[in-house]
C-alpha cells in the first residue's frame, strides 16, 4: 500500500529577488491540479501534506489539499527546501510514523531533494529525475527498506486517452 508520495512543485516563474519567493505559473497551477485529480482517483486520501516553506511548494501543496477530504492537515517543514537533507526528512517521518503508523503522507518539495528523498526511502536506491509536478509513490515502513511503486508526471498523463 502506498503511504508516501513525494512530489515536485508545479512549474514556477523565473528567478525573482529570492528563490524562496518564486510563484507557480498558470501552467504550474494546472499541473498541480491535474496531479491532485489523478492521485484522488488512484490512491486513498492523505492524512498529511507536508511541504517546503518556499512559495511555489506551498502553492502546490494548497492545490493538492483542495482535492483531499476534510481532516487532511497541511504542514511546513524547513528541511524540504532544495538543499535540504533527505536523512533529516526521513528521521522526521520515522518519528511521525512511530506515533501514527497508519499516516498517509504527501511531501511537496524541490529538485534535487525530491530525487534524493526517493533514493533515501527506497530499497533500490533509485534516484529519478522529476518533471515539474511529477510524483513518486512509495510503500515505506520505518526501519525497513521502502519500495518505489510508480512515478507519474503531468506530461505522461497528457499522453493517456481521455
Binding residues for substrate: 56
Are the beta carbons of 131 and 8 closer than 8 angstroms?
A: yes
Strand pairing partners for 109? 8
* CA pair distance 36, 24, nearest whole angstrom: 15
Closest CA to 13 of 24, 29, 2, 26: 24
Positions at the binding site: 56
Alpha-carbon torsion, ordered 94, 131, 42, 90, to 10 deg: 0
**Following DSSP, what letter does each residue of 68-80 receive, concatenated?**
SPTT-EEEE-GGG
Q: What angle (nearest 5°) sits at the alpha carbon of residue 108, between those of residues 102 and 109?
A: 130
Per the structure block, which three cell numbers stand in for 94? 520515522
Amino acid at each position: 500500500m502506498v503511504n508516501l508520495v513525494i512530489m515536485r512543485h508545479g512549474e514556477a516563474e523565473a528567478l525573482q529577488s529570492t528563490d524562496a519567493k518564486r510563484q507557480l505559473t498558470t501552467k504550474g497551477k494546472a499541473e498541480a491540479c491535474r496531479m491532485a485529480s489523478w492521485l484522488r482517483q488512484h490512491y486513498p486520501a492523505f492524512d498529511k501534506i507536508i511541504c517546503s516553506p518556499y512559495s511555489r511548494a506551498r502553492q502546490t501543496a494548497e492545490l493538492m489539499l483542495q482535492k483531499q477530504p476534510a481532516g487532511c492537515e497541511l504542514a511546513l517543514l524547513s528541511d524540504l527546501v532544495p538543499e535540504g537533507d533527505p536523512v533529516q526528512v526521513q528521521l522526521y517521518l520515522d518519528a511521525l510514523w512511530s506515533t501514527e503508523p497508519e499516516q498517509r503522507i504527501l511531501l511537496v518539495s524541490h529538485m534535487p531533494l525530491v530525487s534524493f528523498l526517493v533514493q533515501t526511502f527506497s530499497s533500490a536506491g533509485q534516484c529519478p529525475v522529476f518533471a515539474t509536478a511529477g510524483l513518486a509513490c512509495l510503500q515505506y515502513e520505518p526501519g525497513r527498506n521502502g519500495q518505489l511503486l510508480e512515478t507519474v508526471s503531468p506530461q505522461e498523463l497528457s499522453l493517456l486517452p481521455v
